[in-house]
């Protein structure tokens, strides 16, 4: 049974914390909610993140990404574009990858959320994390948590028989090819262009090559 971690002790604290931190656009918007009139519009939500329950008190505007980063201080998930283009914010919700910047935290009460921190730790890395290290699947590393979460889900999607744009035969089992991996990873941008090594890392985990 997961323990409940209380994010705050009092009502005022979340607003103070948001005002003190967050250089982000969303943080700026949250600061705007500290007027007495709008303070009433807050929602208590229990988020189950990496197996642990967190009770958080949120403005409903808070995206899942901002809740993870600014409220739970899980800063592995990154804010790149904040509009679903880059994939740096990719997390797993009930085992499926989504852009955490394009969903509201209040919509995820009871969902099982896994961030890159929940996949593995520096001492006990997830095979996909280890493969990214082995194959140099990054340069600056900013997109990497999203790439890794996405890659883990991609292999599950192929196993589950979910077709992609490059799947030739909709009726046959899906072959785990480089073409399939490239197409399925197109929602994760790497401006350092570590793509060849990212593909190698994913293929290694998939058992596609030694």
Partner 1 sequence: MKAFTYERPGSAAEAAAAAVRTPGAKFIAGGTNLLDLMKLQIETPTHLVDVNNIGLDRIEPTDQGGLRIGALVRNTDLAADPRIRRDYGVLSRAIVSGASGQLRNKATTAGNLLQRTRCPYFYDTDMPCNKRAPGSGCAAIGGLNANHAILGASEACIATHPSDMAVAMRALDANVETVAPSGASRSIPIADLHRLPGKTPHVETMLEPGELIAAVTLPKPRGGVQLYRKVRERASYAFATVSVALIAKIEEGRVTVDRLAFGGLAHKPWRVEQAERAVAGSDAAADSIADIVLAGARPAEQNAYKLPLVRRTLSATLEHAREGASR
Q: Which stretch binds partner 1 (CB under 8 A): 3-11, 133-141, 149-157, 191-199?
A: 149-157
Tokens of 35: 């007027």
The answer to whether residues 98 and 90 touch, using CB atoms and an 8 Å cutoff, is: yes
Q: Which of 122, 143, 140, 120 is nearest to 205 (CA)?
A: 120
| Pairing, β 43-49 against β 4-6 | unpaired
164 scored as a contact of partner 1 (CB under 8 A):
yes
Residue placing its CB nearer to partner 1 in the complex, 154 or 205: 154
Indicate whether 150 belongs to the interface with partner 1 (CB under 8 A). Answer: yes
Q: Are 25 and 72 in contact (CB under 8 A)?
A: no
Q: Does 77 bind partner 1 (CB under 8 A)?
A: no
Residues numbered 110-129 forming contacts with partner 1, rule: CB under 8 A: none
Q: Which of 8, 17, 29, 195 binds partner 1 (CB under 8 A)?
A: 29
> Which residues bind to partner 1, rule: CB under 8 A?
25-26, 29, 33, 38, 41, 43, 59-61, 63, 82-84, 87, 90, 96-99, 102-104, 106-107, 150, 153-154, 157, 160-165, 167-171, 182-184, 186-188
């Amino acid at each position: 049974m997961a323990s409940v971690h209380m994010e705050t002790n009092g009502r005022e604290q979340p607003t103070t914390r948001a005002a003190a931190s967050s250089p982000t656009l969303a943080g700026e918007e949250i600061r705007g909610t500290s007027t007495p009139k709008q303070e009433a519009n807050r929602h208590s939500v229990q988020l189950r993140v990496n197996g642990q329950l967190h009770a958080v008190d949120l403005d409903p505007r808070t995206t899942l990404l901002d809740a993870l980063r600014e409220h739970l201080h899980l800063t592995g998930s990154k804010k790149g574009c904040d509009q679903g283009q880059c994939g740096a914010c990719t997390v797993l919700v009930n085992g499926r990858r989504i852009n955490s910047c394009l969903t509201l935290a209040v919509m995820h009460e009871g969902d099982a959320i896994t961030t890159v921190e929940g996949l593995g730790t520096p001492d006990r890395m997830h095979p996909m994390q280890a493969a990214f290290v082995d194959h140099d699947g990054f340069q600056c590393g900013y997109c990497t948590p999203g790439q890794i979460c996405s890659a883990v889900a991609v292999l599950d999607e192929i196993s589950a028989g979910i077709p992609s744009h490059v799947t030739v035969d909709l009726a046959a089992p899906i072959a785990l090819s480089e073409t399939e991996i490239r197409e399925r990873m197109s929602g994760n941008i790497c401006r350092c262009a570590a793509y060849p090594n990212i593909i190698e890392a994913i293929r290694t985990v998939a058992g596609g090559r030694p």
